[in-house]
Every structure is written in C-alpha cells, then in structure tokens.
Amino acid sequence: MKISIIGTGYVGLVTGACLAEIGNDVLCLDVDARKIEILNNGGVPIHEPGLHEILKRTRAAGRIRFSTDIKESVEHGEIQFIAVGTPPDEDGSADLQYVLEAARNIGRYANGFRVIVDKSTVPVGTAQHVRNVVEEELKARGIEPTGKNAFSVLSNPEFLKEGAAVDDFMRPDRIVLGVDDDEAGQRAREMIKRLYAPFNRNHDRTLYMDVRSAEFTKYAANAMLATRISFMNDLSNLADAVGADIEAVRRGIGSDPRIGYHFLYAGCGYGGSCFPKDVQALAQTARENGHRLRILEAVEEVNDLQKEVLVGKITKRMGEDLRGRTFAVWGLAFKPNTDDMREASSRRLIGALLERGATVRAYDPVALPESRRVFALDLADKPQQLERLHFVDSQKDALSGADALVIVTEWKEFKSPDFAHLKSELKMPVIFDGRNLYEPEAMAELGIDYFAIGRPHVEFPVA
C-alpha cells in the first residue's frame, strides 16, 4: 500500500520504517529540511534501538523515501498518517497547530479518496477539527468531499515506548482504531485492517471503537502509568520518613496480580515527551469541560516535587553551599535507550547543583550531543554556571576529581560498575542514587555512603 507519514519524530519515523519493513511504499514528509537531509544521507536524527538497521534495509529496497514536498506527500499516500508534535500550550492544553496544518495541506492537494489517520496524541474531539479543516480546503477548491473525493478521519493512537519503539510497533499488545460508522468510515476501516493484517496473524490485536473513545484511550493509558510512578514516588518519601524499604514494599504489592510490577519503581521523577504533556493535557481537557481530575493534578505535583528529592539528599549530606564541590553525574536522558532530554530529571538536578556553586562532570552513553544543545539553551543567561558543566566521554571520566557520584538514568552499564575504581576516584565514597540500582547493605560493606530513594541508609562499616 502507498503510505504517507507526516512528521519524522519518534512516532512518525518508527511508524514509517516499520510499515516499509513489511512491504509498503512509504513516503515520510517533514518541513524540517535538516532532518530530511540527514535521513536522505543515510543518517537517523534520533536514537532508537533497531531503527537504523530497518531504515538501511528499507532505503536499499526502495520502500521508504524522505521529502519536504507537501504536494508530493499528499498525492503519494492513499493513507495519510499525521504524526506531528502536539507540544503543551501555556495552559497545559495540547497545541494542535501542526496537526491542523497537516490536515489543511491534505485538503489542499488530495486527489482522490484518502484515509487520514491521527497518530499524534491529540485531545478528544480533534478528529472532528481535522475533518472540518480538510472539508473546508476541498470546498475552497470546488470539490465536494463525496464519492471518489471522500475521506475519512481515523484515530490510531500510538503506544510506543522510547527505547523499545520498534519492538512495540512490530509486536503490539493492542492496536486501537477509532473509526466512523458512515460509508467512508467503513471503507477506511477495510483499508487500515489490510494495512495492519501482518501484525494480527497470530491473533487479532485490534480494538475497534468510536473515534472519541480512541482519542481518550491514549491519554488515559499514559495518565494511568504516570499515576503509578508518582504513587510509588510519594510512598518512597514516606518510606524514608518511617524507615521502611520501598523495594520490599514494591515486591510485596507487585506480587498481587491485580497490581503487577510494571511502573512501580521509585525514582527521581518521570520525564520525556509523553507523560508530562499528556497528564497536563488531560487535566486541561477536564477543566474545559467543567471537571477536575484531582488525582492527575496530584500526579503532576508529586512528579514536580520528586525531581527535587535527590538535591535534598545531597544538601542534607553536604550542605547548601556547594562551592568547591564537584559531582559526577551518570545518566542525562530521561530514560535508558534514548537521547531524549525533554523534561529529563537531570536538567533539574544539574541546574540545582550549578545554582549552589558546584561543578558537574556529566556522562551519558548516547545523549551527550543532545545534552550539550539543551543545557546551552537552559543556561544561556547563566554563562558562569555553564562553564562549570563539563560533558565527558565515559563514566570513569566523570568520576575523576569528583567529591560524589549522582545517578540519574538507569543505563545498563551503570548497574555493575568497578566499585574499587569508583572509590579510588571519588574524594568521598558517596553515591546518591536516583534509580535504586544497588543494595544499601552491599554498599555499606564496600565502605560506600549510599543514599537511594525510599531505601534505608545503612551506616558503614557493617559488622
């Protein structure tokens, strides 16, 4: 099938690559000429495991192309995926300008029946806005949106985890499709069913529903996962206060099959492109409809406060004035297996350390280029602080001359470090662990002063 993907971010690029991988003819559109140049030169503008290999194969087979030509994109695909960004507006609502501009372009250039698929995360009712914009543009061209010029707008939310997006797409646990019941909708349903057939061979994973329910499902899913994270983070702070171990608590409640273990890990707050903005957007949708989602308001507040917890542990141990102190920071991306720095906890932590006069030596396996760009913007008006932030090429380099180590992202390479080397490099054998990678008792036995999230602080040496 001929597919057009509008937007080459995480969702658009993964969607386009995976659909090309199973044999479709895919054209990916982006208005960012720099991105398209990178892709046409064989590069990949984002870090996502497995994506580079798929793009290399599908480029070589001629099944995927990249363009900035809007007219070519609309004319190419019988199915048009809208996968552009929906950043938060000032009030927390999703900014739909890029979605509606994509819809407007489809209306301007469509030359036959089109299935328009909202893949972007959008508020309930967006499909109707898209429908209105396309119809308006068609009529401005003197075209009635019926018969061969009809179109249908579907909602097909993505459930891709950054760092595992390719696997999530190729082996989905569900495919949610919101489809209208009219004649165009039924035609669109058959086309999208055929497109997704290769993913349903073992058993049908498709959940059909009305369009508004599909739009709601995406926000509800992310809100539930964010709630679990904030719930455990809130409990971890109470565990600190009462002397309980949040890891033992996690195992105790996670063993209940009604609860399970997923997203029950305490840490230093969630980030990324989805949870923060989707929680805000759903809460704003509620307010616009005269309702308050009080739980989600608390989820957001807890997450915001959680990003200060590590700073609190550091200042309690080492004082508010950190001038003359150097901290090694392991992990900058908001999660492992990505270079995404959006809402990353490291940004808040490093900003707080620099504000208190500290020097920071930071390392991340893949996010260093993006980190340099992001912190240059974050600290553009604080050049003296930026001078005290040093990005280094290895976790060992980060330790050199540091007073203490702070762990922010749970990359695999941080899970079993050379503790003897670590102790020899640090001026003080102190670790502040925002991801609970190690056991407090084991650290005490090694003579390391270890501070984790919601876990007991064990004095050393252990008898």
Q: Is 265 annotated as contributing to ligand binding?
A: yes
Q: Is 160 annotated as contributing to ligand binding?
A: yes
Residue 228 in 3-state DSSP?
Answer: helix
Is 274 annotated as catalytic?
Answer: yes
Q: Is 342 annotated as contributing to ligand binding?
A: yes
Q: Is 121 annotated as contributing to ligand binding?
A: yes
- Pairing mode, strands 359-363 and 326-330: parallel
Q: Is 245 annotated as contributing to ligand binding?
A: no
Q: Is 264 annotated as contributing to ligand binding?
A: yes
Q: Is 444 annotated as contributing to ligand binding?
A: no
DSSP letter at 148 equals G
Who's near 275: CB < 8 A, 6+ residues apart? 222, 225, 226, 229, 303, 343
Alpha helices in 41-182 (DSSP H): 51-60, 70-76, 97-109, 126-140, 165-170
CB hemisphere CA count around 83 (13 angstroms): 27
- Tell me if 107 sits within 8 A of 135, measured CB to CB: yes
Q: Give the chain's length.
A: 463
Please give the span between the terminal C-alpha atoms of the chain, in angstroms, as a whole number.
68
From residue 238, alpha-carbon distances to 2, 22, 144, 233, 253 in Å are 54, 49, 62, 9, 16
Q: What's the token pair of residue 254?
A: 């996670």
Q: Is 126 annotated as contributing to ligand binding?
A: no
Q: Is 423 annotated as contributing to ligand binding?
A: no
Q: Is 159 annotated as contributing to ligand binding?
A: yes
Q: Is 277 annotated as contributing to ligand binding?
A: yes
Q: Is 127 annotated as contributing to ligand binding?
A: no
Cα separation, 120 vs 183, whole angstroms: 24
- Tell me the residue type at 118: D
Q: Is 396 annotated as contributing to ligand binding?
A: no
Q: Is 409 annotated as contributing to ligand binding?
A: no
Q: Is 30 annotated as contributing to ligand binding?
A: yes
Who's near 10: CB < 8 A, 6+ residues apart? 46, 48, 160, 162, 165, 273, 340
Which one of 18, 28, 268, 274 is the catalytic residue? 274
Per the rule left: phi > 0, alpha: psi between -120 and 50, beta: everything else, 328 is: beta
Binding site listing for NAD(+)? 30, 35, 86, 121, 162, 277, 342
- Can you say which residues are annotated as belonging to the binding site for substrate? 159-162, 218, 263-267, 271, 335
Annotated binding-site ranges:
30, 35, 86, 121, 159-162, 218, 263-267, 271, 277, 335, 342
Active site (catalytic) residues:
274
